[in-house]
Structure 1
Amino acid sequence: MDNLTHSLVGWALAETGLKHRTRKGLAACILAANMPDIDVFFGWAPWAPLAMHRGFTHGLIGGVVVLPPVLAAMLWLLDRWQLSGGKIAQSAPPMRFGWLLVLCWLGAITHPLLDLQNVYAVQLLSPASERWFHTDGLFIVSPWLLAFLSAGIWRTRKRKAGRPAILALVAALAFILGNMGISALAWRAPSADAPYARPDRIFASPEPLRFWRRDLVWRSGGAITHARFDPLISMTRLADYGPPVADNMSVPVVQRAAIATPQVRDFLAWSQMPTATIWRKGCEITVTFGDARFADPVMAGGFQETVRLTDC
């Protein structure tokens, strides 16, 4: 999810009354809710689980167990420094490190749970496993979720009572669970309806505004198919679907290209539905790898790697 959504979730948690449990309570909730995205600064790291976005820092071990105590310690040290300089207001609540740690853990766990909701997916068990998990419950930026959370925070701060923030979080949870149910129906539709596919990998991306609609993409027998699902039309059948297109990943020249450069190897380690396009010009072969989840021309350019080979 976008960092605004992560921040609003942490803020809403704090506004339920948790921010009063200890000094730095609000900061703990908001910073912890964003903390797993620190991995964007470690793309150079030689350890693959850390260099991989949504890997170790987004997993249950790194993001939920390891990082929150680090953040709590940093906030505690900041508080001690401010206290020694007389920069803490006398009306501020006392510093309770136990509560600070709890709030960091609470904020941190919301991050992978939210990122789990979109088709980019999360390696929840990293570094023990490279498996990607996803529920397809939300578009990566959900205006509906932003509206729920913003309204709850605004009402809470205006009324100086935590009930609106609690209701906003409950509404957000209900919205996510309902959308997860729609995606579960969408995943079953290709098998229950023509083309009666048996996908080995399937994603159902919600639309940002018409959240009930799904853009489906699946892989079956080495071919990629795109489709659309709308429960308002049918809860068991696809609204429409296109022809299957070969992903070309089993072509010998593509298999050569797949191990040609570190950049391609990293891309394919991340990609969950890789595709390859082959261009031949004389002795030169150009192989462009993409990901079927992001085949839209607007997005595709940011999710591609190209290799040039000679075959003479």
Structure 2
Amino acid sequence: LALAYIGCLSHPLFDWFNSYGIRLLEPFSSQWFYGDTLFIIDIWLWAALIAGVWVSRRRERTGKAHWRTPALISFAAICAYILANGLITGRSEQLTAEAAQKKFNVAPTLVVANPVPVQFWKRETLWRDDSHYGQGSYTMFDDVRIDNSMRAHYMGVADKNAFEANVTRGSPLLFWSRMPVAQIVDAGNKRTLKISDQRFTDPLVGDRFSAYFPIGDESK
């Protein structure tokens, strides 16, 4: 029973560690919370968990003393790993905000350091203010690198409310999106509003985190 409770309570905790977000206060509040600490599938975390359990079970079966020790070491290593990743994220977000302000003379209202697969020492850094957004990268023990361009996201508070009321009409994507970006896509005589999330712009996954809304026919 204790293990069942640990499993149920640790699941949302580890969901909070990634950048997808979790609504911890449901059903009382739909507010999103983000840890931005671990990639959604962290192979190093899985490796430590598997190794700790496997070695401990093996020692137990052979009757060796202190067979729990490998599992306890694994647990301690995991805690240290999560703490270290949290510090990397905090540092990269701080440096990104400073770099964006220095390069573009803007004060970012939101900075996100996205963990990347396998390379836990790196972050994809994203920043935005009320009208524009940009990105960069960060490597531990190195300075942050900010891209030379910034673009308008057309998703200020007033724009987002207007889109939601007149075009997207309560889209689940807008409800979920942390860093929404609006873009007009022309296809022949038709114009389409594309809503995406700045965190997921990679061509390999971008379409899975985008929604399209027809907004007019220029031939009429």
Bucket of the pairwise TM-score, normalised by the shorter protein = 0.7 to 0.9
CA deviations on 1:239-268 (whole Å, 9 max, x unpaired) are 333411111225999865534355x62110
* 165, 178, 196: which one aligns with 1:272: 178
Correspondence 1:204 to 2:113: yes
Equivalent residues in 2 for 1:78-89, closer than 5 Å:
none
Aligned ranges 1:168-179 → 2 under 5 Å:
168-179=74-85
* Partner Cα distance (2:3, 2:213) in 1: 46
The worse-fitting range, judged by mean Cα deviation, of 132-141 and 285-294 is 132-141
Higher relative contact order (CA 8 A, sep 6+): 1
SS at match of 1:279: strand
Higher helix proportion (structure 1 or 2): 1
**CA–CA distance in 2 between the matches of 1:254 and 1:116?**
25
TM-score normalised to structure 2 length: 0.84
Deviation digits for residues 65-88 of structure 1, max 9, x if unmatched?
xxxxxxxxxxxxxxxxxxxxxxxx
**Cα deviation digits, residues 155-213 of structure 1 (max 9, x gap):** 01101132211211111111011000110011111233333642222211122222111
- CA drift at 1:103: 2.5
Of 180, 187, 206, which aligns to 1:300? 206
Answering whether residue 136 of structure 2 is matched by residue 227 of structure 1, we say: yes
Structure 1 segment 123-138 matched on structure 2, within 5 A: 123-138=23-38
Residue 105 of structure 1: CA displacement?
1.9
Residue 229 of structure 1: SS of its match in structure 2? strand
Q: Structure 1: 5+ residue runs without aligned partners?
A: 1-99
* Aligned residue-pair number: 208
Q: How far is 1:116 from its partner?
A: 1.2
Return the offset for 1:295. Answer: 0.7
Choose which of 147, 154, 171 in structure 1 pairs with 2:54: 154
Cα distance in 2 between the residues matched to 1:252 and 1:310: 21
TM-score, normalised via structure 1 length: 0.61
Residue 63 of structure 2 is matched in structure 1 by: none
Change (3 A) 1:155 1:258: same
Unaligned runs of 5+ in 2: 61-66
Deviation at residue 121 of structure 1 after TM alignment: 1.4
RMSD value over aligned CA atoms? 2.4
Matching of residue 190 in structure 1 with residue 99 in structure 2: no
How far is 1:130 from its partner? 2.3
Residue identity matched to 1:123: R
SS at match of 2:11: helix
The worse-fitting range, judged by mean Cα deviation, of 147-156 and 185-194 is 185-194
**1:224 counterpart letter in structure 2:** Y
Instruction: Please say if 1:117 is aligned against 2:17.
Output: yes
For residues 254 and 131 of structure 1, the distance between their equivalents in structure 2, rounded to whole angstroms, comes to 17
- 1:23-63 per-residue CA deviation (whole Å, 9 max, x = no partner) reads xxxxxxxxxxxxxxxxxxxxxxxxxxxxxxxxxxxxxxxxx
Q: Which has the higher strand share?
A: 2
In terms of Rg, which structure is larger?
1
Label 1:301 to 1:280 Cα distance change in 2 as closer, same or farther (>3 A).
closer
2:25 counterpart SS class? coil
Taking a change above 3 Å as real, the CA distance of residues 142 and 281 of structure 1, as seen in their structure-2 partners, is closer
Cα separation, 1, equivalents of 2:97 and 2:158? 30
- Equivalence map 1:59-74=2 (5 Å): none
Structure 1 counterpart of 2:123, from 198, 214, 233: 214
Give identity over the alignment, percent. 31
User: What is the one-letter code of the residue matched to 2:73?
Assistant: L
Contact 2:85 2:121 in 1 (8 A): yes
